Amino acid sequence: MEKNESADEHLEMEPKREKERDHNDEGSDSEEDREEEIRDRECHEREKKMSDKKQRAKERREKRRQEISLLRTIPYSDHQRWWSADTIAVVTGANRGIGFEIVHQLALHGVTVILTSRDAAVGEEAAKVLQEGGLNVFFHQLDIVDPSSIKAFCEWLQQNYGGLDILVNNAGVNFNYGSVNRLEFSEQVIVTNYFGTKNIIKAMIPLMRPSASGARIVNVSSRLGRLNGRRNRIGDLSLRHQLEDMDSLSEELIDKTVTTFLDQVKDGSWASGGWPQTYTDYSMSKLAVNTYTRLMAKVLSERPEGQKIYINCYCPGWVKTAMTGWSGHTSPEEGADTGVWLALLPDQVVTGKFFSERREVSF
Ligand SMILES: NC(=O)c1ccc[n+]([C@@H]2O[C@H](COP(=O)([O-])OP(=O)(O)OC[C@H]3O[C@@H](n4cnc5c(N)ncnc54)[C@H](OP(=O)(O)O)[C@@H]3O)[C@@H](O)[C@H]2O)c1
């Protein structure tokens, strides 16, 4: 009986304990529920803030797009047009995308444009499209990383046109898409986007014709290459300062920065090198283009009056081209706009600056 009693007691005790346990569980459940509710609410608020921010950015972009569309409808007056059909512009990598549109728009403004492309067949076809529209566009092959192609182009340009007045360095490559940060093509990216652009600037400067309005160089770059961007910047503060300070900035420093980066990619240590974390190689190539633009503006400012060359760079935005897999929110026409505007600035006093949507932005 004792045994039974104790068994009954035990049986009686069970529901009681269960009730207690249920009660305790209820307590912790509701606490957990409350915490979860708070987390959900915070997460929801964060998401709402993000989507509000995105919405505001979208609205700002749309507003600016409308302003620029309006500006583009205002024709240049005669006294603003320093150029004529005798003005020669050269655009690199112009068989498609933003480069093609830059050629198109410059030619619509009445400039004679040399459309260049590394592949002769596609370049000729692209030029033909514009020629059929009655525009002064001519083709020549130019691979910005091939010294023999650059030499042949310089000779042809000198012989046929006696030089040039506008250079748009547009050719470029990128192998990163979405959130993928690829580094296996880093060398090609740096060699094309930075060293290729530099090759063409060096080859073209002696061919730039003297004029009262000054010759112009426009480099198509990217905000991803900003030295002091909020995100994705170089982690090494001292290197950033050296690249920023005009007294310490030099071609050797820019070259050394990109070659150090490439060496670290090769030996696998780049991840701890403090380089930009997304679109790393592309960002580095454009950072080099931006800093080289500032450096060259200083060098070229020493040229005498009448032989001035002004140099600026710009970001075309996120443009629907082959480079982005046709994602992005800007058309190639809009992406070309700031480059064309910079090339044709009526009173060119601007040099060594970085632009986006016809406005100066910080490097
Ligand atoms: N799309 C964007 O969102 C975006 C944003 C910021 C900056 N950008 C810059 O805008 C410029 C134009 O890009 P995109 O968007 O118009 O891209 P794209 O359609 O891929 O055009 C790139 C052009 O560069 C040419 N190119 C590549 N390597 C060359 C070389 N070694 N010599 C001569 N030409 C070469 C390509 O020729 P092939 O046809 O032979 O390959 C092509 O014509 C690039 O400098 C890019 O970095 C673009």
CA 187 – ligand 1 centroid, Å: 16
Going across the sheet that includes 359-361, the strands are 137-141, 112-117, 88-91, 166-169, 215-220, 309-315, 354-356, 359-361
- One-letter amino acid at 28 equals S
Q: Are 154 and 207 in contact (CB under 8 A)?
A: yes
pLDDT in 10s for each residue of the chain, 363 residues? 333 333 333 323 333 444 444 444 444 567 888 888 888 888 888 888 888 888 998 899 899 999 999 999 999 999 999 999 999 999 999 999 999 999 999 999 999 999 999 999 999 999 999 999 999 999 999 999 999 999 999 999 999 999 999 999 999 999 998 888 999 999 999 999 999 999 999 999 999 999 999 999 999 999 999 999 888 899 999 999 999 999 999 999 999 999 999 999 999 999 999 999 999 999 999 999 999 999 999 999 999 999 999 999 999 999 999 999 999 989 999 999 999 999 999 976 899 999 999 999 999
Is residue 3 situated within a structural domain?
Answer: no
Told to judge if 310 belongs to the known catalytic residues of this protein, a careful annotator would answer: no
At residue 236's C-alpha, the angle toward residues 231 and 237, to 5°, is 85
In a domain, 170, yes or no: yes
Q: Does any domain span residue 69?
A: no
Q: Are strands 359-361 and 354-356 parallel, antiparallel or unpaired?
A: antiparallel
| Cβ–Cβ < 8 Å for 288, 280 | no
The CATH number linked to 133 is 3.40.50.720
The structure's pTM equals: 0.88
Ligand 1 in reach of 321 Cβ (< 6 A): yes
Tokens representing 200 are 């063409």
Catalytic residue among 282, 292, 310, 314: 282
**160 within a domain of the structure (yes/no):** yes
Task: Output the CA 309–ligand 1 centroid distance in Å.
Answer: 24
98 C-beta neighbours (distance < 10 Å), count: 28
Q: What is the residue range of 205's domain?
A: 80-175+193-223+282-360
Give the integer Cα–Cα distance in Å for 63 and 227. Answer: 27
Overall number of domains in the chain: 1
User: Per the structure block, which two tokens stand in for 29?
Assistant: 């459940």
Long-range contacts from 44-47, C-beta under 8 angstroms, 24+ separation: none
Query: Is the minimum distance from the CB of 319 to ligand 1 under 6 angstroms?
Result: yes
* 8 A C-beta contact, residue 139 and residue 188: no
Residue in this structure with the two tokens 């050394």, named with its chain if needed: 256
